[in-house]
Amino acid sequence: MKRIIIPAIALFAMASCAQNPFMEEWNTPYGIPPFDQIKICHYMPAVKAGIEQQNAEIQAIIDNPEAPDFENTVAALDRSGKLLAKVEGVLFNVSESDATDAIKKVVEKATPILSDHSSSINMNKDLYERVKAVWEADQSGLTREQQCLLKDCYEGFEKNGIGLDEASQARLREINSELSSLSLSFGNNLLAESNAYKAEIGSSVSNYYDEMATVEDRALREKMFRLYSMRGNNGNANDNKANLLRTMELRIEKAKLLGYDTPAAQILDDKMAHDPQTVDAFLQNIMTAAMDRAKEEIADMQAVMDQDVAAGLLPEGSTIQPWDYMYYAEKVRRARYALDESEAMQYFVMENVRAGIFGNASRLYGLQFEPIEGVALFNPEAEAFKVSDEDGSLIGVIITDYFSRETKRAGAWMSNFGDQYVDVDGNQVRPVIVNICNFNGPCDGHPSLLSIDQVETAFHEFGHALHGLLSQCSYRGVSGTSVKRDFVELPSQINENWAFQKECLATYAFHWQTGEVIPDELVAKIQAAANFNQGFTTGELCAASILDMKWHELSSIEGIDVDSFEAKCCEEMGLVGEIIPRYRSTYFNHIFGGSGYSAGYYSYLWAEVLDKDAFELFKQKGIYDRETAMSFRRNVLEKGSSEEPMTLYRNFRGADPDASALLRARGLR
């Protein structure tokens, strides 16, 4: 027999992979995953073991000889899949924030397997019959949270193909699997395109808006605009046009299998807005107001450009183009409000902004934050903090990862490594939350300095974090941010309102060199300019929302050309030629890359009606009025989807939201 010699390093790898940390209880502070122990080789075995475990748990529910009731069926289903939730929480969070080639390969392998597993649960007729029996039984003995979980569970089966025949279910499985792979591919292509932009320009796409406002070289601005706006649309290996068309083809087929005319009708059926017509009317009203303002903005900017023409800086006949909008808007802003963005940035040191965000939550909701030292995280730039309530009880953990890197997808988001719920023994399981951003790190002796928009982004994402951290639900299925898509942005967007209030700025806006608190004069300028350029800001957001709806209102993609379709949509919505949608189709990751906003990007504007109406109450009572803040905490932030969203809102506000609050807040009415 041939003797096999295994190198020592291989023996170590085999040993380290044999002991899989996902299969063990985590002896770590507050349930933080043991990132230093998790290796690439651990993921797939844990995924497969997690699927097997959940399958066995579901079979035990089915085989239970007792009559179906909430506890032995719905609660048992909610508790199932603990191992799988652990590995998915780590795998997908790490893959988006630190997407090495190795972990991308794992995700490519795991995604279709997980999709098929999800389909198997949704199409399990024996499991459905038990849930249906609970649904049809007397629910008067259930809590409101239990009723909501039961409703979500039962309707989830109905919406995911339980009523289809065997052949149609088989086809739906295939569609779901391919859609998950297409979503992954779209995101990977976009990451590659964003990195190509950085290689060409020397700066991250996350800095695009700030830099387009300051770059004086018009030819360079045009180059930046074209590179940015053509991502995923260059005919290269990362082109996303075929990907998104196939995605829409499958989504249309899926909607029709499930009995709907379009994907928009299917997706919106259980949302607050409920149907495409409601969303379309809502968006067009905002779009009309935004474009009226945009035309005024363009006239103001053209007047400044004409001065540059007269001075010989630009050729005769020069007019505002998309790559000029932010640059000349900044010139108008400086002239009108004497606000210099670069001056303001000197007061927004990342660490101080974060401390201000924490302090704001402490002042409103009584939370305390303490750095967690000596714990390994998924990247050295990430930092962890223990969050406690006023009485010292554990609220959860917040991990912040704020700096841009090539392995991180663009944008900013909140997610969970672990959910909040009450386990089978009655113990509170507190969440582990992560906030991800793409800010510039310290450089050339300067700390990380944030723009006004980036400060707002940090407050926004922490609003999502509060929604996850403060959850006080019993079941994972309804806890934290597991709410209707057009309600989920309320906690994030309302938190933005404090960012530039004078009382809040005084706690974090210190000059990075002198330590001087931001002067009242500069605060006044920031506040005065808050509603400046709302034609552009509102218009590009609304345009993206309408574009999303138009894609998902299609009943066929026959003859559709991506560029022509998008151009027609922009023309029909009344978008002026100087503005493009915030996300063009080929880099619209929210709707094609798996971020869950398909036929749902309107949610930002929909929830803004709620957030602006809600903040008006804070302004009436005092922005740090504890009674109002605790009412928002108890009635919204703690509730997850344990009650209908509008009921939660009314419980806090005492009335329905005022639909005009958004336009008032943006200065468009």
- For the beta sheet containing 394-403, the strands, ordered from the edge strand earlier in sequence to the opposite edge, are 368-371, 383-388, 394-403, 432-439, 413-418
Distance, CA of 385 to CA of 107 (rounded, Å): 28
In this structure, are residues 45 and 397 in contact, taking their beta carbons and an 8 Å threshold?
no
In this structure, are residues 51 and 117 in contact, taking their beta carbons and an 8 Å threshold?
yes
Burial bucket for residue 266 (CB in 10 Å: 0-12, 13-18, 19+): buried
Bridge partner residues of 436 (DSSP):
401, 413
Active site residues: 461
3-class DSSP state of 26: coil
E strands within 223-327?
none
3-class DSSP state of 389: coil
In this structure, are residues 251 and 552 in contact, taking their beta carbons and an 8 Å threshold?
yes
Please tell me what DSSP assigns to residue 555.
S
Which residue type sits at 416? N
Helices (H), 311-400: 325-337, 341-345, 350-365
In this structure, are residues 205 and 211 in contact, taking their beta carbons and an 8 Å threshold?
no
What does the block give as tokens for 78? 């909610």
3-class DSSP state of 439: strand
What does the block give as tokens for 653? 């506000």
Cα-based distances in Å from 412 to 381, 432, 454, 599: 15, 17, 10, 20
3-class DSSP state of 574: coil
User: What are the residues whose beta carbons fall under 8 Å from the beta carbon of 437, sequence distance 6 or more?
Assistant: 400, 401, 402, 403, 412, 454, 457, 458, 461
CA-based R_g, the chain, Å: 26
State the angle between helix axes of 144-159 and 125-136 in degrees (0 to 180), rounded to the nearest 10.
140
∠ at Cα 253 (249, 256), nearest 5°? 140
